A and B are shown apart, each in its own frame.
Chain A
Amino acid sequence: MSNTIIATPGPARRADLLTPAELAALGGLEFVARKVVEGFLAGLHRSPHRGFSVEFAEHRAYQPGDDLRYVDWRKFGRSDRFYIKQYEEETNLRSYLFLDASASMAWSSQPETLPTKLWYAKQLAMCLSLLLLRQGDGVGLIAFDDAIRTQIPTRGGRRHWHDLLRATDSLEASGRTDAASAIQEVASRIRRRGLVVLLSDLLVDPEATRLSLQFLRHRGHEVLVFHIIDPGELELPGVSDARFIDPETGDEIPVSVADLRREYREAVDAALREWQQFFASRAIDYLVLRSDQPMVHALRAYLRKRERLG
């Protein structure tokens, strides 16, 4: 009963502010992504972020079927006629979404209540792609594990979103992670500079990955990294002794948790700090996203990035 209430975003609750657990209860990928983006855009009208990159161009007369959200009500008040605000596609930015679909992304510390990191990444990717497409940008998708598994070329247009949606929806997590190979392979084929968005848990070879991202920056791309972390990865579980198994490699480590709890936490902090320092030094935007947090943080980060890109 309570789940139903939480999962139904009423008029007072924007979907972008819902937790992933609540979003997962709403429906499928398309529905959720649309709701999140709509909620996010609705929030923008009340926020100081007025300079949304989709700039107003002109008015035209209202025609049946037009979206009522674009009716200029002020003009209606003055002229007593309906006019629709039309926006100019300001840029033609090409965006590349790199989606980590390795086995580690399929993990959830609370499988019954908390969606996996892959679910979170897929939702976020679809929200971003919807925003980008609405702005008239081109969006491409590269899903990878230790190699590129799916690649959707960069195109614009609303219909392209459905291509992206189908490709993303069918993704299943498997295999090891080799982000560096995927990034370098794609980057070597991209001629036009654009925005590269990496959605990954960054349980990767850090040196190789940094090198590949540095290569992207060197080629003039803007890079935005969403580091998706399950909250269960920030702390060791509440057991005394256990054998921890890597889902990607099958490696096992016997650990006395009590002996290592504090040290593990420090190791996580140090790793995140290293990522942060590296990205800061390379002018790469970096955001740690806990998979139990609403997506509004990620979308705002994207928005800030997009604003800076003009």
Chain B
Amino acid sequence: MSFLNPLLLALGVSVAVPLILHLLQRHQGPRLIFPALRYLRRAEKENARQIKLRQLLLMALRLAILILLVLAAARPFLRQSGSGHEPTAVAIILDNSLSSGLIQGEERVLDQLKARALETLSHARAEDRFWVIRAGSPWEPATMLDAAAAAELVRDTEVSAGRADLSAALTRARALLAAGAGERAAEIHLLTDLQANSFDRTAPPTPRGSRNPPVIVWGPSDPAPENVGITALSIDGGVAPRPGDKSTIAVRVSGASSRSEIPLRLILGDRTAAAATADPNATTLLQLTTPSSGIVAGHVELDPDALRGDDRRYFAARVQPPPAVSLAGSPAFLDDAIAVLADAGHVRLAGAEPADVVIAPGGLGLDGARGWTAAIVLAPTSPTELPATNRRLAEAGIPWRFAPPSGTGEARLELAGVDDEILAPLADARLREVYELRAEGGADGQVRLRLQDGRPWALQGELPDGGRYILVASPLSNDATTIPTSPALLPLVDRLTGAWAAARESANEAVPGSRWQLPAGATEVQRPDGTRDQVEGTGQYLVPGRPGVYQILAGDEVVDAFAVNPDPAESELARLDRRALRSTLQGWHPEWVDDPADWVDAIYHQRLGKEIWRPLILAALAVLLIEGLVAASGSTRGAGETGRGRGEAGSPREGMAVAASSGGAGATSGN
């Protein structure tokens, strides 16, 4: 016999109650004046043994009632041979997110989860049906399977770079069971490493009254080990690598602050192209010499730790020539900055060719045929130019307008939230003229830089045809700001014409489960392991969960590539404890099993064998009835006897008059 709620057996301490009552009962009750104490003493003396036996019997019956109720509350069931449960539909949520690749002890967490799932499936009956929901690959469809097919799916499951949303997975499992369980009993087996950020704590709890299937959770109860992982990587701040140039790869290492000088390597193909040491929760720069054309791809890696999935982060970027830049007018200092950047190979001077990026002080340069891919509009140098500037913005389709400055005095930029080290000199810049930026018709944009009072200073937006615009709220003139004469000018112009103006990120990175837009002519996508998926050009490719560099082929020619990396949140391994799990899954009433030996006892838990709480309740009621009869036996039987006694002539009660007269007559006659 096993129990579904074995913790409730602790209620067994309540059997002490009748024992205590038994011990205390003779000291309780009201005090009553009663003259016929002589008869009471006599009754006690003559029936002491019987009374004691009855009290012991009552106590035994009361103990039996409590024991039966406690047993029933613990929901015992009789184990049957084999898998003797009723037909059951089970949704197995297998958490194969990146964190499940953690090696704890000598076993990978995912392998432990798979072992539990296979145990579930090995105890299945032919009538049982299963859905295997891979929580780390939520884009995969889940279909109803028999045990054999489900077991095969479980065995084939590998760690995904995707992030698990277990709250969503539970909701999905409930929907699947509701739709497909039919007459079968329903259960959800949640097999997870209990990573805290896998649960959506902001999700509203399940409303009261809605029926959720039983959820049996298996997860490790040990605390997660410290982890260090690469959580971010960018090339040249987002600018496409230039042919034959040196690019900078910024790598952010997150995790245990107790470690320092973590070895970091840049791997291109089979070759270590660069190496450095990194401190946790800081950004480290690695130098990369880019080829003259084509695609540069590789990865940055750490020494392996318990979670290997985040020790390596992939990148793939197309080598592109610097953008052709045109500058309207000849603003002092700005044209010099462009020239310097051109000498450094960061930009090209457009000259006669069409400009990729147009720098338009006061909107100048936006006129005429649209050939640029990005426009950088600087505020006018005088408020009198505002109408003309705004007219040019309107003609270019840019839904923003400059408005006269609202404040007086100098302003400064807020760089606290700007994760770009080369812009640090802007912290010293003083802004004397700052125009207001006003949206037209609910336009939206990404603020690149803000003033310390929160107003946007540099704002980036997209045009409907794919063009990009950047508005700067101050003219970059010596009268309006100190930037032109400070070290901040070159980094600012470099970002304006480079990363901010680029149409898309230079590094091609895809999120698992997303859809990658394929270039025209694409025929295949080659996975990191060398296998190829047939595709059709201009279609979309569903990005798999395996991390690595995916190459897009047109015939045998590589036409593009993208990298798949895990979600940085997967590197945070903190786990929920039992209380937090219950709090997070409000309304689900999860039953947590953390010992592998207990798993088989816990699953199919409402139907494993025959539950016997009903007979126990009936038995408790029967014993309760007997207890009531025994407890009331004195008064009940006594009342009956009183009734009989009234009819007995020889009774010494109300028949006394008769007895006295007969007795008296006899006595008198004899006297």
Residues of A contacting B660 with CB < 8 Å?
276, 285-288, 301
- Whether the pair B656, A286 counts as a contact (CB closer than 8 A) is yes
C-alpha spacing A236/B635, complex, angstroms:
9
- Whether the pair A244, B657 counts as a contact (CB closer than 8 A) is no
C-alpha spacing A305/B632, complex, angstroms:
44
- Whether the pair B29, A239 counts as a contact (CB closer than 8 A) is yes
> Taking the complex as formed, is A201 at the interface, i.e. its CB lies under 8 A from any CB of chain B?
yes
> Taking the complex as formed, is B634 at the interface, i.e. its CB lies under 8 A from any CB of chain A?
yes
C-alpha spacing A273/B648, complex, angstroms:
13
Residues of B contacting A289 with CB < 8 Å?
656
Contact of A233 among B27, B36, B637 (CB under 8 A): B36
Residues of A contacting B38 with CB < 8 Å?
203, 271
Taking chain B's interface residues, is the majority helix, strand, or loop, or is none over half, making it mixed? Answer: helix
Residues 267-285 of B contacting A (Cβ, < 8 Å): none
C-alpha spacing A138/B195, complex, angstroms:
109
- Whether the pair B664, A301 counts as a contact (CB closer than 8 A) is yes
- Whether the pair B667, A263 counts as a contact (CB closer than 8 A) is no
Residues of A contacting B206 with CB < 8 Å?
none
Residues of B contacting A270 with CB < 8 Å?
42
Residues of B contacting A60 with CB < 8 Å?
none
Residues of B contacting A252 with CB < 8 Å?
31
- Whether the pair B39, A267 counts as a contact (CB closer than 8 A) is yes
Interface flags for B31-73 (1: CB within 8 Å of A; 0: not) read 1111111111111101100110011000000000000000000
- Whether the pair A261, B44 counts as a contact (CB closer than 8 A) is no
Residues of B contacting A157 with CB < 8 Å?
none
Contact of A288 among B25, B35, B656, B668 (CB under 8 A): B656
Given A258-B632, A258-B635, A269:B652 Cβ within 8 A? yes
> Taking the complex as formed, is B517 at the interface, i.e. its CB lies under 8 A from any CB of chain A?
no
- Whether the pair A242, B30 counts as a contact (CB closer than 8 A) is yes
> Taking the complex as formed, is A186 at the interface, i.e. its CB lies under 8 A from any CB of chain B?
no
> Taking the complex as formed, is A88 at the interface, i.e. its CB lies under 8 A from any CB of chain B?
no
- Whether the pair B25, A255 counts as a contact (CB closer than 8 A) is no
Contact of A254 among B27, B33, B34 (CB under 8 A): B27
Chain A CB count within 10 A is highest, among B34, B51, B54, for B34
- Whether the pair A244, B37 counts as a contact (CB closer than 8 A) is yes
> Taking the complex as formed, is A163 at the interface, i.e. its CB lies under 8 A from any CB of chain B?
no
Given A233-B35, A253-B40, A285:B664 Cβ within 8 A? yes
> Taking the complex as formed, is B395 at the interface, i.e. its CB lies under 8 A from any CB of chain A?
no
- Whether the pair A260, B641 counts as a contact (CB closer than 8 A) is no
How many residues of A are in contact with the other chain, CB < 8 A? 68
C-alpha spacing A272/B43, complex, angstroms:
14
> Taking the complex as formed, is A251 at the interface, i.e. its CB lies under 8 A from any CB of chain B?
yes
B119 to chain A, nearest CB (A): 55
Interface flags for B309-350 (1: CB within 8 Å of A; 0: not) read 000000000000000000000000000000000000000000
Residues of B contacting A300 with CB < 8 Å?
657
C-alpha spacing A6/B635, complex, angstroms:
33
Residues 626-671 of B contacting A (Cβ, < 8 Å): 631-635, 637-638, 641-642, 645, 651-654, 656-657, 659-661, 663-668, 670-671
A227 to chain B, nearest CB (A): 7
Q: How many A-B residue pairs have CB under 8 A?
A: 189
Residues 235-257 of A contacting B (Cβ, < 8 Å): 235-249, 251-257
B302 to chain A, nearest CB (A): 76
Residues of A contacting B258 with CB < 8 Å?
none
Residues of A contacting B27 with CB < 8 Å?
254
- Whether the pair A276, B39 counts as a contact (CB closer than 8 A) is no
Residues of B contacting A240 with CB < 8 Å?
29
C-alpha spacing A283/B671, complex, angstroms:
7
Contact of B641 among A242, A262, A287 (CB under 8 A): A262
> Taking the complex as formed, is A284 at the interface, i.e. its CB lies under 8 A from any CB of chain B?
yes
Residues of B contacting A261 with CB < 8 Å?
634-635, 638
- Whether the pair A262, B633 counts as a contact (CB closer than 8 A) is yes
A225 to chain B, nearest CB (A): 9
Contact of A242 among B31, B41, B653 (CB under 8 A): B31
C-alpha spacing A271/B42, complex, angstroms:
9
C-alpha spacing A103/B34, complex, angstroms:
11
Contact of A241 among B26, B35, B633, B634 (CB under 8 A): B26
- Whether the pair B656, A246 counts as a contact (CB closer than 8 A) is no
Given A254-B27, A268-B39, A286-B663, A260:B652 Cβ within 8 A? no
> Taking the complex as formed, is B202 at the interface, i.e. its CB lies under 8 A from any CB of chain A?
no
Given A227-B656, A280-B663, A288-B653, A257:B634 Cβ within 8 A? yes
C-alpha spacing A267/B37, complex, angstroms:
11
B559 to chain A, nearest CB (A): 93
- Whether the pair A245, B34 counts as a contact (CB closer than 8 A) is yes
C-alpha spacing A282/B50, complex, angstroms:
35
> Taking the complex as formed, is B406 at the interface, i.e. its CB lies under 8 A from any CB of chain A?
no
Contact of A246 among B26, B37, B47, B657 (CB under 8 A): B37
- Whether the pair B39, A244 counts as a contact (CB closer than 8 A) is no
Residues 214-233 of A contacting B (Cβ, < 8 Å): 222, 224, 227, 230, 233
C-alpha spacing A297/B38, complex, angstroms:
26
> Taking the complex as formed, is B28 at the interface, i.e. its CB lies under 8 A from any CB of chain A?
yes
C-alpha spacing A289/B31, complex, angstroms:
27
**Closest partner residue, chain A, to B655 (CB atom):** A288
C-alpha spacing A271/B660, complex, angstroms:
15
- Whether the pair A201, B40 counts as a contact (CB closer than 8 A) is no
Contact of A258 among B36, B631, B667 (CB under 8 A): B631
B57 to chain A, nearest CB (A): 11
- Whether the pair A258, B652 counts as a contact (CB closer than 8 A) is no
A218 to chain B, nearest CB (A): 12
> Taking the complex as formed, is A95 at the interface, i.e. its CB lies under 8 A from any CB of chain B?
no
C-alpha spacing A248/B38, complex, angstroms:
11
C-alpha spacing A230/B33, complex, angstroms:
13
9 contacts between A and B (CB under 8 A): A241-B25, A261-B634, A264-B39, A267-B39, A269-B645, A280-B666, A285-B663, A305-B664, A305-B668
Query: A-contacting residues of B (Cβ < 8 Å)?
Result: 25-44, 46-47, 50-51, 54-55, 631-635, 637-638, 641-642, 645, 651-654, 656-657, 659-661, 663-668, 670-671
Q: Top 10 nearest A-B pairs by Cβ distance?
A: A283-B667, A288-B656, A272-B652, A241-B29, A285-B664, A104-B35, A261-B634, A280-B663, A267-B43, A262-B638
Query: B-contacting residues of A (Cβ < 8 Å)?
Result: 103-104, 107, 201, 203, 222, 224, 227, 230, 233-249, 251-273, 275-276, 279-280, 282-290, 297, 300-301, 304-305, 308
Beyond contacts A107-B33, A241-B26, A305-B668: 15 other A-B pairs, Cβ-Cβ < 8 A, are A201-B35, A203-B38, A235-B642, A243-B30, A245-B33, A253-B41, A256-B51, A258-B632, A264-B40, A264-B43, A267-B39, A267-B40, A288-B652, A288-B657, A288-B659
